[in-house]
């Protein structure tokens, strides 16, 4: 499986919601499409799911136009629309029939999919009585019903409370094992736990395509936080004299050590501490938090 988004532009009259956007998703990946509100995430996802046509550009799956490959793609909208009076089973039967799945097939795959999203036992509960997390899991079930190779989810956890968020993140972790995933969110830390790769969109344009570790290293401040016990105080004077150490801030037993190059110096510093038998409590790279990185990216660029 390979999804290719080639130079997609989507205009609504004068408004360009997505501008010359290209990216690829390879089989087995879980990619986060991250951007602030109004960035163009939902528009791009609708183009990918073949809900709306792009003004320019194309989306290919296995090298074929997405409109010919709808069976291979599952879509969870940002605001899934359920009939409150239907039960979970009725909802999936209805939606499955809409997407052309045979009745007999639905009989066997609905229990299977309900169990996959942790809703076994709720098949006869009305959607009206579902929590936010349960509704979202039913939405995921609906998107997976025809066993697509790729599932695209538009802000699957953004509107949920912490419990619902946890439920849905756990389900996505399971689905990830056998389905390629592209999901959007406006909260970078939501994607942190499940996505290996991040594509950042701002004002309809792609501004980043990177991994979490690359993002964190790039934004590291060349500082290392080291906590020691009082019996290792002598080491502090020694650290100050190391040739790769630029500055040391000392607050009791907590040190903030600025080095010349975090990549090459971090292990040298750790080796030095071990060599001096330092009683370490914490040894940690002082990175920007994800929120700080995200704000820098979407505000400054
Ligand atoms: P996001 O999902 O990242 O919040 P959207 O894709 O919903 O962003 O919207 C991107 C931009 O396109 C916004 O400025 C939005 O107002 C505009 N937009 C989205 N859909 C339409 C539409 N149907 N008609 C006109 N403008 C739209
Ligand atoms: Mg949106």
pLDDT, one tens digit per residue, over 248-271 is: 999 999 999 999 998 899 999 999
Q: How high is the pLDDT of residue 300?
A: 66
Which segments of 145-249 does DSSP mark as H helices, in order?
Answer: 162-175, 188-192, 212-218, 234-240
Q: How high is the pLDDT of residue 215?
A: 82
Model confidence at 171, pLDDT cuts 50, 70, 90, reads very high
* Residue 15 near ligand 1, beta carbon < 6 Å: yes
Computed over every residue of the chain, the mean pLDDT equals 93
Q: How high is the pLDDT of residue 197?
A: 94
Identify the architecture of domain 221-287 in CATH: 2-Layer Sandwich (3.30)
CA atoms of 21 and 5, how far apart (whole Å): 7
Q: List, in sequence order, every residue forming a beta bridge with 30; answer none if it has no partner.
A: 181
CATH 3.30.70 domain span(s) along the chain = 221-287
Q: How high is the pLDDT of residue 33?
A: 97
Q: What's the token pair of residue 222?
A: 């060349």
Atom nearest to 201 CA in ligand 1: 3
Q: How high is the pLDDT of residue 287?
A: 78
Q: In this structure, which residue's CA is closest to atom 12 in ligand 1?
A: 17
Q: How high is the pLDDT of residue 175?
A: 94
Q: How high is the pLDDT of residue 22?
A: 98
171: number of Cβ within 10 Å:
21
Model confidence at 296, pLDDT cuts 50, 70, 90, reads confident
Q: What's the token pair of residue 204?
A: 């309809």
Which segments of 86-233 does DSSP mark as H helices, in order?
Answer: 88-98, 103-116, 132-144, 162-175, 188-192, 212-218
For residue 228, the surrounding DSSP H or E stretch is strand 220-228
Model confidence at 156, pLDDT cuts 50, 70, 90, reads very high
State the CATH class of domain 2-215: alpha beta
Q: Which of 246, 294, 298, 250 is nearest to 269 (CA)?
A: 246
Q: How high is the pLDDT of residue 216?
A: 77
**Which residues are within 8 A (CB) of 21 and not within 5 positions of it... i.e. 6 or more apart?**
5, 7, 8, 9, 40, 44, 57, 201, 204, 205, 206
Looking at the CA of 41, name the nearest ligand: 1
Looking at the CA of 43, name the nearest ligand: 1
Q: In this structure, which residue's CA is closest to atom 11 in ligand 1?
A: 17
Q: Is the pLDDT of residue 176 over 80?
A: yes
Q: Is the pLDDT of residue 190 over 90?
A: no
Looking at the CA of 78, name the nearest ligand: 2
Handedness of CA 168, 170, 175, 176 (dihedral sign): positive
CA atoms of 183 and 76, how far apart (whole Å): 9
User: What average pLDDT does the segment 87-98 reach?
Assistant: 94
Atom nearest to 78 CA in ligand 1: 2
User: What average pLDDT does the segment 219-230 reach?
Assistant: 89
User: What average pLDDT does the segment 55-77 reach?
Assistant: 95
Q: Is the pLDDT of residue 92 over 80?
A: yes
CATH 3.40.50.300 domain span(s) along the chain = 2-215
């Amino acid at each position: 499986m390979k999804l290719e988004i080639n130079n997609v532009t989507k205009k609504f009259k004068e408004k360009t919601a997505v501008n010359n956007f290209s990216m690829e998703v390879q089989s087995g990946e879980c990619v986060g499409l991250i951007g602030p509100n109004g960035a163009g995430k939902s528009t791009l996802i609708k183009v990918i799911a073949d809900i709306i046509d792009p003004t320019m550009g194309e989306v290919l799956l296995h090298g074929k136009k997405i409109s010919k490959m709808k069976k291979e793609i599952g879509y969870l909208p940002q605001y899934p629309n359920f009939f409150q009076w239907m039960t979970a089973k009725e909802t999936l039967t209805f939606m499955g029939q809409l997407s052309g799945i045979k009745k007999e097939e639905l009989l066997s795959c609905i229990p299977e999919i309900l169990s996959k999203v942790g809703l076994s036992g709720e098949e006869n509960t009305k959607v009206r009585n579902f929590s936010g997390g349960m509704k979202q899991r039913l939405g995921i079930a609906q998107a997976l019903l025809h066993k697509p190779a790729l599932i695209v989810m538009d802000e699957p956890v953004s509107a949920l409370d912490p419990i619902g968020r946890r439920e849905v993140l756990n389900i996505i972790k399971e689905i990830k094992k056998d389905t390629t995933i592209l999901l959007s969110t406006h909260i970078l830390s939501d994607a942190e736990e499940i996505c290996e790769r991040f594509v950042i969109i701002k004002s309809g344009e792609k501004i980043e395509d990177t991994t979490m570790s690359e993002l964190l290293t790039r934004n590291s401040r060349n500082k290392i936080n080291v906590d020691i016990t009082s019996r290792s105080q002598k080491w502090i004077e020694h650290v100050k004299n190391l040739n790769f150490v630029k500055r040391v801030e000392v607050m009791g037993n907590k040190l903030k050590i600025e080095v010349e190059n975090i990549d090459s110096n971090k292990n040298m510093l750790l080796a030095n501490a071990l060599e001096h038998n330092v009683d370490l409590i914490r040894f940690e790279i002082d990175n920007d938090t994800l929120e700080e990185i995200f704000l820098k990216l979407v505000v400054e660029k």
